[in-house]
């Protein structure tokens, strides 16, 4: 009997829960990502485009995924040493928590996991008495870590918004990748 009462109460609320699930709002967005790879001497700042798609579970919580592709590489040169980072893929899954998205300006935070893949090319050139000597190595590097960030939606209408956000994609001792995203979102 003790188990029957909670089950009966849950059954009474099931239609309301199901109604909320079926009234979810989906959204799709696209943004330009200004990536920032910190190094000991200077920062490397390549760029990428990302798509963002998700579902608004309630006015304050959304679940979303992201898929991006690098469009611009950047390099750092010091002495005879050059490092070039060319981002390839960015993938992420997040929980988005924020103020009611129906407000004119709706700030939010993101918690999730991301994976970033890049082609990293290092080149070293030095001059000797017999000429110059150079070496070049290229490898694909993948970083996968918990991610977090914060942003703000600026609503243009009920179905469209501009947004800006900062996201920490990876924070290892030797790999610190952050991004500033500027984009547009459409709700359906």
Tens digits of per-residue pLDDT, 155-187?
999 899 999 999 998 766 556 788 999 999 999
Compute the residue count for the chain.
Answer: 188
- Please write the tens of the pLDDT for every residue from 125-150: 877 777 777 888 989 988 888 999 99
Count Cβ atoms within 10 A of the Cβ of residue 66 and give its class: 0-12 exposed, 13-18 middle, 19 or more buried: buried
Pairwise CA distance, residues 179 & 47, whole Å: 9
The candidate with the shortest Cα–Cα distance to 151, out of 168, 126, 137, is 168
Pairwise CA distance, residues 163 & 23, whole Å: 24
Q: Which long-range contacts (CB under 8 A, 24 or more apart) does 102-105 make?
A: 102/59, 102/155, 102/158, 103/155, 104/154, 104/155, 105/152, 105/153, 105/154, 105/155
Pairwise CA distance, residues 174 & 38, whole Å: 9
pLDDT tier at 81, thresholds 50, 70, 90: confident
- Please write the tens of the pLDDT for every residue from 14-34: 444 444 444 558 999 999 999
Count Cβ atoms within 10 A of the Cβ of residue 117 and give its class: 0-12 exposed, 13-18 middle, 19 or more buried: middle
The CA-to-CA distance between both ends of the chain, in Å, stands at 44
Which helix H or strand E contains 116, and what residues bound it?
strand 105-128
The candidate with the shortest Cα–Cα distance to 107, out of 154, 140, 61, is 154
pLDDT (average), residues 3-8: 49
- Bridge partners (DSSP) listed for residue 126: 133
Mean pLDDT of the chain: 83
Query: Phi and psi of 14, rounded to 5°?
Result: -60, -45
- Please write the tens of the pLDDT for every residue from 54-72: 999 998 999 999 999 999 8
Question: Which pLDDT score is estimated for 101?
Answer: 80
Pairwise CA distance, residues 13 & 9, whole Å: 7
pLDDT tier at 113, thresholds 50, 70, 90: very high
Question: Which pLDDT score is estimated for 129?
Answer: 72
Question: Which pLDDT score is estimated for 14?
Answer: 46
């Amino acid at each position: 009997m003790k188990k029957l009462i909670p089950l009966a109460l849950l059954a009474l609320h099931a239609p309301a829960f199901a109604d909320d699930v079926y009234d979810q709002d989906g959204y799709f967005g696209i943004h330009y990502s200004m990536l920032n790879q910190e190094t000991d001497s200077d920062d490397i700042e390549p760029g990428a485009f990302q798509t963002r798609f998700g579902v608004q579970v309630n006015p304050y919580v959304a679940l979303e995924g992201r898929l991006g592709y690098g469009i611009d590489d950047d390099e750092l040169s010091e002495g005879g040493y050059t490092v070039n980072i060319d981002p390839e893929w960015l993938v992420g899954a997040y929980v988005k928590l924020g103020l009611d998205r129906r407000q004119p300006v709706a700030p939010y935070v993101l918690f999730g996991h991301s994976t970033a893949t890049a082609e990293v090319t290092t080149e070293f050139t030095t001059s000797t008495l017999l000429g110059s000597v150079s070496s070049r190595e290229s490898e694909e590097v993948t970083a996968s870590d918990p991610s977090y960030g914060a942003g703000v939606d600026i609503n243009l209408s009920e179905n469209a918004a501009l947004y800006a956000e900062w996201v920490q994609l990876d924070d290892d001792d030797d790999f610190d990748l952050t991004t500033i995203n500027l984009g547009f979102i459409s709700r359906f």
